[in-house]
Chains A and B, each alone.
Chain A
Amino acid sequence: MTGAGGGTSTAATPSGGGAAAASRRDQLTLAALTRSRRLTGPAAGAVVGVVLILLLLGNGFTSTLVLDMLVYAIAAMSLDFLGGYAGLISLGQAGFLGVGAYGVAIAEVHAYSPWAAVGIGLGVVLALGLILGIVAVRVKGISFVIITLAMGQVLWGLAYQWVGLSEGDNGIPLSTLPSIGPIDLNNGLTLRMTVLAVFVVIALLLTTITRSPFGLSLRGVRSNEARLAALGYRTGLHRYLAWVIAVFCTGVAGVLYVFVNQLISPTTMNFSANGLFVLMVVLGGLGSIWGPALGAVVIVLFQQELSLYVSRWQTLMGLTLIAVVLFSPGGFWGLVRAIGRRRDAVIARLQRGGTP
């Protein structure tokens, strides 16, 4: 096939031998590219996984950093699920993370056992998500952003002002973490591995959902909701479900947050925190799940590392967001996808027998 296709090549081939050599090279290139297309994803995942495990084995500053990244990544991925797939960008995500964390902490303050506290924390987040979702799905687009921003701020305000419940500015420390059988989260290593495991589970869950018919329907909602409704879909229900899933996953991140930091305070839920999550998603790439996880890594590095060297790191962060929006709206994952598309085009051309 490649030999016969040589006629379509625009490059002059001096002799039959030269054409044969070129086509053999093409075949090798084609094989290599096709293999890379299949393997790069899983290979990268394996490498990253190993690196994470190694980093988490220690007990020092690095592992704490990685833990922060993982917790924030969960929240960022949830935000991407809502924003990149259903088209609903929420500026209130940190609020739900806070609710999950506060739920656990307040429950423990009221003498509930750690496991019960987790249940209560998740339960409160879920209930809040179910209730607020009814309001949230009534609006779309910019109005949705605004209403979620308001929600996030109100939740922060509650944490700040309802001192009787939340201890206000001081926050609530967490003393005991849950343990079940051999898995005692009070043990540092067990906790770290558990956080990693939860991260992997949620990441896989979210990516699986995005590939399901429901996930496709969310993309349809984002692409052309009116048309989707005309096709017989109850789009409000689909958006509501996406909201509940995203809020719940963020709540899980909140529970992990308070485990890792053993403290929850209103600062975790303030406006800046909400903006940071959006930043993570935009940087990483809206609509890719993995991209925002990477975005979380970058932002945490910005916050923890860059802040040591550059006192105006927040300006830098803001400028980065603006730059990404201006020049690479698809974020980091957008670049990855662009490279992937180039590779696909080359493969397609090689398969047809032309020159790459």
Chain B
Amino acid sequence: MTTTPAAQRKDAAGPGGASPALAADHLCRRFRGVAAVEDVSLRVAPGDRFGIIGPNGAGKTTLFNLLSGELRPTSGRVALFGQDITAMRPYRRVALGLGRTFQITRVFSDLTVLENLTLALHGLSRTKLSLLRPWRSYRSVTAEAAEFAAKFGLAGRLGAIASELSHGEVRELEVLLALALKPRVLLLDEPAAGLSPAERVDIQALLRSLPPELTLVMVEHDMDVLRGVVDSAAVLHLGALVVQGPMREIQNDDRVRELYLGRAGAGRRSARGLRAPGPPGLPPGTPVEGGGGP
């Protein structure tokens, strides 16, 4: 193996690799004096598969919302491919190539899968204000929607109303909606949360099949999903950055181990390392099959 998958992805990223795909500089967010995120700086390179991990309450969701624009930072800045987007509302970040999914899935439940995807595909073009042509007549759009659905496991479900989909299918639709906007950077908010083991495998497969040029930033508890998808990560604790680097280093980092195994009596052992409830098992970092990199 001459190059690691991560290096292959970096090559695929092409020019423009000089400025990071997503960068956070000294981000702070306070809620009435309580610092949810304190002085966090990140660098995510184009094509990276990046994870944001940490125990519950570490500030992952707040950081995530700061990156996506749902929250404004108390101080600090966020940049997308070198461009300062700190003051931009979510829809403008979307136009610049930053997409996100939601943990509490927010699809259009009373619309069909096709309608969901059509809305997403019209998102970046002026055609969404078109008044007189039936939306079904935009053949290229409906064809693209069908293609998307087929490629990512929702073939044959185009006519189904979103509320009729299974939990896993809704998650897939969620990811598809974000993908339809052709993002350059995709933020994923716990894509595997609440899924059954079989569904988790599906989601992991979907995530791995995403194009290599796409930069992924993922908040996730499930170590299996993370390990299969993510190259490097940042670990948060109580709003501050503990360590950032390749997964291997993180798994072997003492501070991280202490975080998850805890100090005496407050230990948190779980198979996947980062979820409070769950069967006990191996702490993160214990070499498992093919531990030579995700």
The answer to whether A and B come from one shared complex is yes
**CB within 8 Å of B: which residues of A?**
208-209, 211-217, 219-220, 223-224, 226-234, 238, 241
Q: Is the CB of A216 within 8 A of B91?
A: no
Q: Is the CB of A232 within 8 A of B130?
A: no
Question: Does chain A have a CB within 8 A of B4?
Answer: no
Q: Which 9 A-B pairs have the closest CB atoms?
A: A232-B123, A223-B108, A232-B94, A231-B123, A227-B106, A211-B134, A213-B135, A213-B130, A220-B119
Contact with A along B115-157 (1 / 0, CB 8 A): 1001110111001111111111010000000000000000000
Q: Which residues of B contact A209 (CB under 8 A)?
A: 131-132
Given contacts A231-B120, A232-B123, contact A211 B135 (CB under 8 A): yes
| Of B111, B129, B180, the contact of A214 (CB 8 Å cutoff) | B129
Q: Which residues of B contact A215 (CB under 8 A)?
A: 131, 135
Nearest chain A CB to B72 CB, angstrom units: 15
Q: Is the CB of B119 within 8 A of A230?
A: no
Q: Is the CB of B130 within 8 A of A212?
A: yes
Given contacts A223-B110, A231-B120, A232-B91, contact A216 B131 (CB under 8 A): no
Contact with A along B65-105 (1 / 0, CB 8 A): 00000000000000000000000001100110000101000
Q: Which residues of A contact B95 (CB under 8 A)?
A: 232
Given contacts A212-B134, A224-B107, contact A231 B129 (CB under 8 A): no
Task: Pick the most buried of A214, A234, A241: most chain B CB atoms within 10 A of its CB.
Answer: A214
8 inter-chain pairs at a CB distance below 8 angstroms, sorted by A residue, are A212-B131, A213-B122, A213-B129, A219-B111, A223-B110, A223-B111, A226-B106, A232-B94
**Beyond the given A230-B102, A231-B94, A233-B128, could you list 4 further A-B residue pairs with CB under 8 A, ordered by the A residue number?**
A209-B131, A227-B107, A228-B119, A232-B95
Question: Does chain A have a CB within 8 A of B233?
Answer: no
Question: Does chain A have a CB within 8 A of B113?
Answer: no
Question: Does chain A have a CB within 8 A of B247?
Answer: no
Nearest chain B CB to A54 CB, angstrom units: 31
Given contacts A224-B106, A233-B91, contact A211 B136 (CB under 8 A): yes
Q: Which residues of B contact A216 (CB under 8 A)?
A: 115, 118-119, 122, 135
**Size of B's binding interface in residues, CB under 8 A:** 33
Measured between alpha carbons, how far is A233 from B181 in the docked complex, in Å?
11
Nearest chain A CB to B232 CB, angstrom units: 26
Task: Pick the most buried of A213, A216, A219: most chain B CB atoms within 10 A of its CB.
Answer: A213
Measured between alpha carbons, how far is A209 from B133 in the docked complex, in Å?
8
Given contacts A229-B90, A229-B91, contact A223 B132 (CB under 8 A): no
Given contacts A212-B135, A224-B109, contact A230 B94 (CB under 8 A): yes
Measured between alpha carbons, how far is A214 from B118 in the docked complex, in Å?
11
Measured between alpha carbons, how far is A241 from B138 in the docked complex, in Å?
22
* Chain A residue nearest to B129 in the complex (CB): A214
| Of B111, B134, B180, the contact of A220 (CB 8 Å cutoff) | B111
Q: Which residues of B contact A238 (CB under 8 A)?
A: 129
